[in-house]
């Protein structure tokens, strides 16, 4: 008798692992053909499909000693779903390419799949296919598909002078959590248990998918997901749209950041303005549109270029990440 999840992946082999993983994957109503053939077939009801891909590498995007397999899967899944939602689209399906060392426990591979699956299920998306390969480090590359259901995509380039800048979700929690996970003398000296919510936000961000879709549906002119930090991602909107975006920093919610910032001696606004992995959404919308509850107006759009934070010199803070130049993520 084979016990699911037992042993290392080299003991069950590629096809055994595929079988164990596939058994975890119910297929939703968007799926005509799921895993097991050369390709999947997914509905695209309005004649268009939204598609995005994100690759996560162990030691850079995640650490097995900081997060469980399910948490890692959930977070990578969220990054892909957020990219689909930021176009104003409903996620429908995912494909997952997974490279891992042969010694990886089967249970880890199953748990990461469960994490990816469960986060995708929040938006009704199924894992419809994938691929396996061996590599010294774990590499997870997800492609997410989505449907606009007849709407126009919400682009980075649609911001207009006179728009309000709107934030969906809260930024900075994940960056604060990362700072609290990084071992240091300061971290050791503070009561770690006080900040479990921030660490949890780094491990598994709570993404406001439905609120972002509601923002799109009520007529957002532009949107992108905050994966590189609010300054950097709003900067993409400003650049693509040929406008200047102004943020009023008093409009940012730093209430959950202030205690930890004080302990670590940092400005909570640095986390809120440069932290990326919360997968909040930032966009712009005309001044006269009534907004759904839960959206936060944080600024406005004027003629010019770039991003300005009123009363604050933000040039001292690194804006966004560069995977080939930074030593960080």
195 secondary structure, DSSP code:
G
**Stretch 154-183 residues interacting with a second copy (CB under 8 A):** 155-157
String of contacts with a second copy for each residue 280-309, x by CB under 8 A: ------------------------------
56 or 261: CB nearest a second copy: 56
170 or 241: CB nearest a second copy: 241
Q: Which stretch, 55-63, 111-119, 261-269, 304-312, contacts a second copy (CB under 8 A)?
A: 55-63
Total residues binding a second copy (CB under 8 A): 75
From CA 242, how far away is CA 70, in angstroms rounded?
41
From CA 44, how far away is CA 56, in angstroms rounded?
27
From CA 112, how far away is CA 128, in angstroms rounded?
15
Is 255 a binder of a second copy (CB under 8 A)? no
Query: According to CB under 8 A, which one of 76, 87, 179, 213 is a site residue for a second copy?
Result: 87
From CA 140, how far away is CA 144, in angstroms rounded?
13
Q: Are 180 and 260 spatial neighbours (Cβ–Cβ below 8 Å)?
A: yes
Is 75 a binder of a second copy (CB under 8 A)? no
Query: According to CB under 8 A, which one of 21, 25, 42, 120 is a site residue for a second copy?
Result: 42
53 or 184: CB nearest a second copy: 53
Question: Which of 242, 261, 243, 254 lies closest to 167, judged by CA?
Answer: 254
Neighbours of 120 (CB within 10 A): 27
Three-class secondary structure of residue 316 per DSSP: coil
Is 108 a binder of a second copy (CB under 8 A)? no
Q: Are 84 and 144 spatial neighbours (Cβ–Cβ below 8 Å)?
A: yes
Q: Are 259 and 148 spatial neighbours (Cβ–Cβ below 8 Å)?
A: no
Is 69 a binder of a second copy (CB under 8 A)? no
115 or 146: CB nearest a second copy: 146
Query: According to CB under 8 A, which one of 20, 28, 52, 117 is a site residue for a second copy?
Result: 52
């Amino acid at each position: 008798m084979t016990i699911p999840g037992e042993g290392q992946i080299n003991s069950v082999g590629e096809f055994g692992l595929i079988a164990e993983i596939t058994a975890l994957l119910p297929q939703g109503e968007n799926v005509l053909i799921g895993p097991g053939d050369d390709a999947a077939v997914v509905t695209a009801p309005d004649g268009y499909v939204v598609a995005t891909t994100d690759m996560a590498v162990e030691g850079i995007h995640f650490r097995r000693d900081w997060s469980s397999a399910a948490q890692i899967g959930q977070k990578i899944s969220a990054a892909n779903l957020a990219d689909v939602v930021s176009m104003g689209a409903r996620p429908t399906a995912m494909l997952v390419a997974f490279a891992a060392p042969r010694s990886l426990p089967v249970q880890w591979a199953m748990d990461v799949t469960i994490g990816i699956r469960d986060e995708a299920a929040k938006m009704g998306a199924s894992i419809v296919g994938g691929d396996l390969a061996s590599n010294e480090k774990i590499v997870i590359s997800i492609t997410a598909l989505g449907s606009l259901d007849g709407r126009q995509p919400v682009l980075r380039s649609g911001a207009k002078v006179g728009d309000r800048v709107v934030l969906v979700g809260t930024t900075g929690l994940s960056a604060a959590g990362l700072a609290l996970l990084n071992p240091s003398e300061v971290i050791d000296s503070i009561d770690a248990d006080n900040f479990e919510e921030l660490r949890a936000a780094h491990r598994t961000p709570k993404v406001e998918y439905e609120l972002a879709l509601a923002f799109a549906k009520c007529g957002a002119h532009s949107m992108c997901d905050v994966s590189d930090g609010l300054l950097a991602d709003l900067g993409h909107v400003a650049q693509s749209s040929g406008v200047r975006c102004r943020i009023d920093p008093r409009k940012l919610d730093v209430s959950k950041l202030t205690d930890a910032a004080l302990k670590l001696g940092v400005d909570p606004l640095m986390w809120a303005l440069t932290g990326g992995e919360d997968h909040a959404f930032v966009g712009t919308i005309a001044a006269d549109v009534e907004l759904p509850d839960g959206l936060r107006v944080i600024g406005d759009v004027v003629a010019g270029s770039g991003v300005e934070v009123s009363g604050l010199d933000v040039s001292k803070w690194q804006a966004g990440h560069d995977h080939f130049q930074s030593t960080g993520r």
